Amino acid sequence: MITESQVEEALSRVTHPELGRSLVELGMIRDVKTEDSEVRFTLALPSLSSSLQDQLQSEAKAAVLAVDGVQKVEIQLAEMSTEERQQFLAKAQPAQQAASPLAQKMNDVKHVIAVMSGKGGVGKSLVSSLLAVALQREGQEVGVLDADITGPSIPKMFGIHTHPVANPLGILPVDSSLGIKVMSINLLLPSEDDAVIWRGPLISGAIKQFWEEVIWGQLDTLVVDLPPGTSDASLTVMQSIPLSGVVLVTSPQDLAGMVVRKAAKMAQHLGIPILGVVENMSYFVTPDTGKRYDIFGPSHARETARQLGVPFLGQLPLDRQIAELSDAGRIEEYAAEAFIPIAQTLTKTAPEARRPPPLKP
């Protein structure tokens, strides 16, 4: 009688051709069932578009057919969930260490600008998107790394729904309609509405992989959209990725200014240059009369920048068209006249990306 342990033992001798580890060890074999001379099991893949799909099926089937008494093998394919894919990559990482630098050797990223705020809801993703679009219009090659793992919104704003493609060298980012390279956890989920319920280490690991294992190629600027706060994700970016500096985003309320000063102190403590402050939702201009209203009260951004000793880069208005284009995935169509001088200033002042200094005690 054929046992499940016999089948698993046979499959443990089938190694992943790129990772050098067995399919069983990598968690790719599931639901092994035996009945008389027949064997059924599921082969779980990181992506059903994997180029190794046929090879893995063929080798797994041959290994099981070699078990004494087995006459028929049925293999069902399944795609790993996001968390299972993360665990798969974590198990594969030691074997990939020699190959991981391959993606890095193919990358030449001159400037890396992180967009940050201590507070949620001030428009970091909007500023990240508009900065990328404005830099692209200036003739730069641009990418966006969405480091907001639990609240990603960059793909939605750019209207991107295509899954990234992986090859032996790394992961290829997805191009927007204007050619901006984008990588986000939302592009790896079965549905954009799926929640990513991860603790800090998994979030940090995903951000590192987006930097180390994505083939960004030659970029003039990579914009990194950070989540709110000063916890794991922001710390991972500041300590693991060579940065040119950070752009702080605030809104007119003094509360937002107070929280953004916390983010500034984090960057300063870690020795990361602050490239300047951008105030979002600063004012509203009525389309019929052209009259300006400071809906959220008087601006405090200039004072915040002065207190921090950093440049005040400019103000962005409340604009209904921004919301409409973002919801429709057409942010690249926004004219963004108010953002052009901000992008031009950062082009002139942002230093080349460099490794962060050691953390001060």
In tens, the pLDDT along 255-307 reads 777 888 888 888 888 889 999 999 998 889 898 888 999 888 888 888 889 98
Is 361 part of a structural domain of the chain?
no
In angstroms, rounded to a whole number, what is the distance separating the alpha carbons of residues 64 and 293?
72
3-state secondary structure 146-172: ECCCCCCCHHHHHCCCCCCEEECCEEE
Shared domain for 231 and 293, answered yes or no, is yes
In the predicted model, is pLDDT for residue 102 greater than 60? yes
Shared domain for 148 and 107, answered yes or no, is yes
Shared domain for 76 and 123, answered yes or no, is no
Q: Which of 105, 129, 127, 104 is nearest to 116 (CA)?
A: 127
Is 355 part of a structural domain of the chain?
no
Provide Rg for the chain, Cα atoms: 24
In angstroms, rounded to a whole number, what is the distance separating the alpha carbons of residues 333 and 315?
20
In angstroms, rounded to a whole number, what is the distance separating the alpha carbons of residues 27 and 121?
39
Count up the domains in the chain and report the number: 2
Which residues form the domain of 61? Answer: 4-96
Is 356 part of a structural domain of the chain?
no
Shared domain for 155 and 92, answered yes or no, is no
In angstroms, rounded to a whole number, what is the distance separating the alpha carbons of residues 52 and 72?
22
What is the pLDDT at residue 51?
65
- In this predicted structure, which of 61-70, 98-107, 229-238, 305-314 has the lowest mean pLDDT? 98-107
Shared domain for 90 and 111, answered yes or no, is no
What the block records as the tokens of 200 is 């800090």
What is the pLDDT at residue 221?
96
Shared domain for 168 and 282, answered yes or no, is yes
Instruction: Mention every residue, 6+ apart, whose C-beta is less than 8 A from residue 184.
Output: 144, 146, 152, 154, 155
Is 27 part of a structural domain of the chain?
yes
CB 333 within 8 A of CB 325: yes
Q: In a 10 Å sphere around its CB, with 0-12 CB exposed, 13-18 middle and 19+ buried, how is residue 67 labelled? A: middle
How confident is the model over 18-75, as pLDDT tens digits?
Answer: 677 899 989 999 999 999 999 999 999 887 766 678 889 999 999 999 999 999 999 9
Is 151 part of a structural domain of the chain?
yes
Is 313 part of a structural domain of the chain?
yes
Which of the listed residues 74, 96, 118 is the one where a domain comes to its end? 96
Say which residue the tokens 């793909």 belong to: 155
What is the pLDDT at residue 155?
95
Is 359 part of a structural domain of the chain?
no
Q: How far apart are the first and last CA of the chain?
A: 64
Say which residue the tokens 């937002």 belong to: 256
Shared domain for 224 and 113, answered yes or no, is yes
What the block records as the tokens of 249 is 């985003």
What the block records as the tokens of 272 is 């990361």
In the predicted model, is pLDDT for residue 173 greater than 90? yes
Shared domain for 242 and 269, answered yes or no, is yes
In the predicted model, is pLDDT for residue 252 greater than 80? yes
Q: In a 10 Å sphere around its CB, with 0-12 CB exposed, 13-18 middle and 19+ buried, how is residue 98 labelled? A: exposed
What is the pLDDT at residue 100?
47
**DSSP state for residue 287 in the 8-state scheme:** T
Which of the listed residues 76, 96, 116 is the one where a domain comes to its end? 96
Q: Which of 100, 353, 359, 103 is nearest to 242 (CA)?
A: 353
Shared domain for 300 and 314, answered yes or no, is yes
Decide: pTM greater than 0.85.
Answer: no
CATH code of residue 38: 3.30.300.130
- In this predicted structure, which of 22-31, 80-89, 97-106, 330-339 has the lowest mean pLDDT? 97-106
In angstroms, rounded to a whole number, what is the distance separating the alpha carbons of residues 172 and 183?
8
Shared domain for 155 and 26, answered yes or no, is no
Question: Of 122 and 231, which is predicted with more confidence?
Answer: 122
Looking at the chain, list the stretches that DSSP marks H as alpha helix, in order from N- to C-terminal side: 4-11, 53-65, 82-96, 100-106, 124-137, 154-158, 200-212, 232-240, 254-269, 301-308, 320-327, 340-349
In angstroms, rounded to a whole number, what is the distance separating the alpha carbons of residues 243 and 226?
13
Shared domain for 121 and 134, answered yes or no, is yes
How confident is the model over 301-327, as pLDDT tens digits?
Answer: 888 899 899 999 999 888 889 889 999
What is the pLDDT at residue 236?
86
CATH code of residue 334: 3.40.50.300
What is the pLDDT at residue 95?
44
What is the pLDDT at residue 101?
53
Shared domain for 257 and 239, answered yes or no, is yes
CB 333 within 8 A of CB 322: no
Number of Cβ within 10 Å of residue 71's Cβ equals: 10
In the predicted model, is pLDDT for residue 244 greater than 50? yes
Which of the listed residues 80, 96, 112 is the one where a domain comes to its end? 96
Is 236 part of a structural domain of the chain?
yes
What is the pLDDT at residue 98?
41
- In this predicted structure, which of 15-19, 101-105, 211-215, 271-275 has the lowest mean pLDDT? 101-105
What is the pLDDT at residue 354?
80
